[in-house]
Structure 1
Amino acid sequence: MEEVNPLVEVVFRLMVWLYSALCFLPSLLRRDLGQKSSSMSLEEQMSQLKARSVGGTPDGPYRDLKSQQKLACFLKAGVDTLDKVFETAAQHYHGQDFIGTREFLREEDEHQANGKVFKKVVLGEYRWMSYDEAYRSALSLGASLIALGQKPCHNIAIFCETRAEWMITAQACFLYNFPLVTLYSTLGGPAIAHGLNETEVTHIITSSELLEARLKLVLLDVPRLKHIIIVDSKVGSHYPRGIRVHSMTTLQEMQARPENVSCRDRKRPQPSDIAVIMYTSGSTGVPKGVMITHSNLIATMTGMAERIPGLCENDTYIGYLPLAHVLELSAEIVCVSFGCRIGYSSPQTLADQSTKIKKGSKGDTSVLQPTLMAAVPEIMDRIYKNVMAKVEAMGLLQRMLFFLAYNYKLEQLEKGFSTPLCDKLVFHNIRALLGGCVRVLLSGGAPLSAATQRFMNVCLCCPVGQGYGLTETCGAGTICQSWDYSTGRVGAPLICCEIRLKNWEEGGYRCTDKPHPRGEILIGGPSITMGYYKNQQKTQEDFFTDKNGQRWFCTGDIGEFHPDGCLAIIDRKKDLVKLQAGEYVSLGKVEAILKNCPLIDNICAYADSGESYIIAFVVPNQKHLMSLAKECGVCGSWEQLCYSSHMEEEVLKVITETALKAQLERFEIPRKICLSTEPWTPETSLVTDAFKLKRKELKRHYQNEIELMYNDK
Structure 2
Amino acid sequence: MSVFSFDSEYLFAPSDKSGAQLLEQYIPVEDEILRKKLADSAPIPGTEREGYSAVYRNAAFPRVLKSGISSDLNTYGKFFNSTVRSKPDNPCFASREYDYVQKKSADHYSTLTYSEVNTRKKNFGAGLLYLLSNSNFLEPAKYNSHQKIVDHVKNYGTYDKNNMSFILTVFAPNRMEWMLTDIMCCDYSITNSSLYDTLGPDVSKYILELTESPAIVLDKHNINTILNLKRQFPKALENLILLISMDPLDLEGKNESISFEDVSNVSAARELGITLIDLDRVEKVGEIFPHKELPSTPESTYTISFTSGTTGSKPKGVVLSHVTAGAGITFLHPTLAPPKNGKAFAFLPLAHIYERQNTAYAISLGSLIGFPQLGGTPLTLIEDLKLFKPNVLTNVPRVYTKFEAAIKSATIEHPTSLFTRSLFDKILNSKKELQSKQDHDPGYHFVYDKIFLSKIRAKFGFDDMVFSVCGSAPISVSTIKFLKAALNIGFSQGYGLTESFAGMSVTISFDSDPGSCGSCGITTEMKLKELPQMGYHANDEGGPRGELLLRGPQIFSHYFKNEEETSKAFDEEGWFHTGDVAKFDSRGRIYIIDRVKNFFKLAQGEYVTPEKVENAYLSANPILTQLYAHGDSLKHFLVGICGVDIPLARKFLKENCQIKIQEGTNEDEIVALINQKENRKLALAYVNEIVSREGKLSGFEKLHNLYFEIEPLRLDRDVITPTTKLKRPIARKFFGEQIDAMYKEGSLIDKNKL
Fold shared, TM-score > 0.5 on shorter chain: yes
Cα displacement (A) at 1:660: 2.4
Q: Cα gap change, 1:434/1:200 in structure 2, threshold over 3 Å: closer, same or farther?
A: same
Question: Which residues of 2 match residues 204-215 of structure 1 at below 5 A?
Answer: 204-212=216-224
| Unpaired stretches in structure 2, ≥5 consecutive residues | 1-28, 134-148, 153-164, 250-261, 747-754
Give the structure 1 partner of residue 600 of structure 2.
577
Give the structure 2 partner of residue 403 of structure 1.
425
Match of 1:587 among 592, 596, 610: 610
Distance 1:272 1:182 in 2: 21
What TM-score does the superposition give when structure 2 sets the normalisation length?
Answer: 0.80
Match of 1:162 among 168, 174, 192: 174
Distance 2:710 2:520 in 1: 41
Distance 1:277 1:646 in 2: 44
Give the structure 2 partner of residue 613 of structure 1.
637
Give the structure 2 partner of residue 33 of structure 1.
none
Q: What secondary structure sits across from 1:415 in the alignment? A: coil
Give the structure 2 partner of residue 82 of structure 1.
76
Distance 1:634 1:439 in 2: 39
Question: Which residues of 2 match residues 222-241 of structure 1 at below 5 A?
Answer: 222-224=236-238, 225-234=240-249, 235=262, 237=265, 238-239=268-269, 241=272
Match of 1:149 among 121, 126, 132: 132
Native 8 Å contact 1:481 1:491 kept in 2: yes
Q: Cα gap change, 1:641/1:466 in structure 2, threshold over 3 Å: closer, same or farther?
A: closer
Q: Cα gap change, 1:545/1:368 in structure 2, threshold over 3 Å: closer, same or farther?
A: farther
Cα displacement (A) at 1:46: 7.5
Please give the per-residue CA displacement for 1:385-425, whole angstroms capped at 9, x wherever unaligned: 22223331251121011111111111111113523222223
Give the structure 1 partner of residue 706 of structure 2.
673
Q: What secondary structure sits across from 2:406 in the alignment? A: helix
Please give the per-residue CA displacement for 1:420-459, whole angstroms capped at 9, x wherever unaligned: 2222233222222133111121111111111111112211
Q: Cα gap change, 1:248/1:671 in structure 2, threshold over 3 Å: closer, same or farther?
A: same
Native 8 Å contact 1:319 1:344 kept in 2: yes
Question: Which residues of 2 match residues 324-343 of structure 1 at below 5 A?
Answer: 324-343=351-370
Question: Which residues of 2 match residues 618-697 of structure 1 at below 5 A?
Answer: 618-626=642-650, 631-632=658-659, 638-639=667-668, 642=671, 647-663=676-692, 664-676=697-709, 678=711, 680-697=713-730
What amino acid is the match of 2:701?
E
Native 8 Å contact 1:296 1:529 kept in 2: yes
Q: Cα gap change, 1:162/1:638 in structure 2, threshold over 3 Å: closer, same or farther?
A: closer
Number of equivalences: 648
Q: Is the counterpart of residue 455 in structure 1 residue 487 in structure 2?
A: no
Q: Is the counterpart of residue 601 in structure 1 residue 630 in structure 2?
A: no
Q: Cα gap change, 1:107/1:591 in structure 2, threshold over 3 Å: closer, same or farther?
A: farther
Distance 1:645 1:79 in 2: 56
Give the structure 1 partner of residue 255 of structure 2.
none
Please give the per-residue CA displacement for 1:59-102, whole angstroms capped at 9, x wherever unaligned: 12111133222211112332333322222221111122101101
Native 8 Å contact 2:339 2:466 kept in 1: no
Match of 1:94 among 74, 88, 96: 88
Please give the per-residue CA displacement for 1:584-639, whole angstroms capped at 9, x wherever unaligned: 22322322333343443322212223321111112223344455566347998754
Cα displacement (A) at 1:195: 0.9
Give the structure 1 partner of residue 409 of structure 2.
389
Q: Is the counterpart of residue 700 in structure 1 residue 733 in structure 2?
A: yes
Native 8 Å contact 1:181 1:277 kept in 2: yes
Native 8 Å contact 1:367 1:435 kept in 2: no
Moved more, 214-223 or 51-60: 214-223
Distance 2:667 2:38 in 1: 53
Give the structure 1 partner of residue 565 of structure 2.
538
Moved more, 483-492 or 661-670: 661-670
Match of 1:216 among 228, 247, 253: 228
Please give the per-residue CA displacement for 1:526-557, whole angstroms capped at 9, x wherever unaligned: 111012111111111112352xxxx4211111
Q: What secondary structure sits across from 2:132 in the alignment? A: coil
Match of 1:316 among 343, 346, 354: 343
Match of 1:373 among 374, 390, 393: 393
Distance 2:624 2:375 in 1: 21
Distance 1:46 1:69 in 2: 17
Q: What secondary structure sits across from 1:477 in the alignment? A: strand
Cα displacement (A) at 1:646: 5.7
Distance 2:282 2:101 in 1: 29
Give the structure 2 partner of residue 434 of structure 1.
461
Match of 2:117 among 126, 134, 148: 134
Cα displacement (A) at 1:196: 0.8
Native 8 Å contact 2:405 2:648 kept in 1: no
Give the structure 2 partner of residue 487 of structure 1.
514
What TM-score does the superposition give when structure 1 sets the normalisation length?
Answer: 0.84
Q: Cα gap change, 1:252/1:347 in structure 2, threshold over 3 Å: closer, same or farther?
A: closer
Give the structure 2 partner of residue 20 of structure 1.
none
Distance 1:591 1:545 in 2: 33
Distance 1:396 1:242 in 2: 69
Q: Cα gap change, 1:655/1:346 in structure 2, threshold over 3 Å: closer, same or farther?
A: farther
Identity over aligned residues, as a percent?
Answer: 25
Give the structure 2 partner of residue 253 of structure 1.
284
